Amino acid sequence: QSALTQPRSVSGSPGQSVTISCTGTTSDVGGYNYVSWYQQHPDKAPKLVIYDVTKRPSGVPDRFSGSKSGNTASLTISGLQAEDEADYHCCSYAGSYTVLFGGGTKLTVL
């Protein structure tokens, strides 16, 4: 099992939209609708922002949305705000009760 592939960094200006990709294989991202995304501010625990590819937990702004096409999942943040600057990690079920994470993406709000 190899980690899911994410870009090391992305950036955007306040008010803009950014999309972070997460690429896996048919054995993980492409094979199950159990993709989740976590936001992590420095020295803090990860916070769930998207689960089951497209669902938002209670309290997460609707500026956060998720999607999937084939073996690639995506997190889109629209109307960027300064507080969105953080690391974002994707995660997928990988079969046989195992879980894979991506390498993380640093989002910079310019």
Nearer to other proteins, 17 or 26 (CB): 26
Q: Is 1 in the site for other proteins (CB under 8 A)?
A: yes
Question: Distance between CA atoms of 43 and 95, rounded to whole angstroms?
Answer: 31
Residue 107 makes CB contacts below 8 A (sequence gap 6+) with: 9, 10, 11, 12, 18, 20, 77, 84, 85, 86, 87, 88
Q: Which range, of 12-20, 22-30, 39-47, 71-79, touches other proteins by CB under 8 A?
A: 39-47
For binding to other proteins (CB under 8 A), which residues are involved? 1, 3, 6, 32, 34-36, 38, 44-48, 51-52, 57, 89, 91-93, 96-104
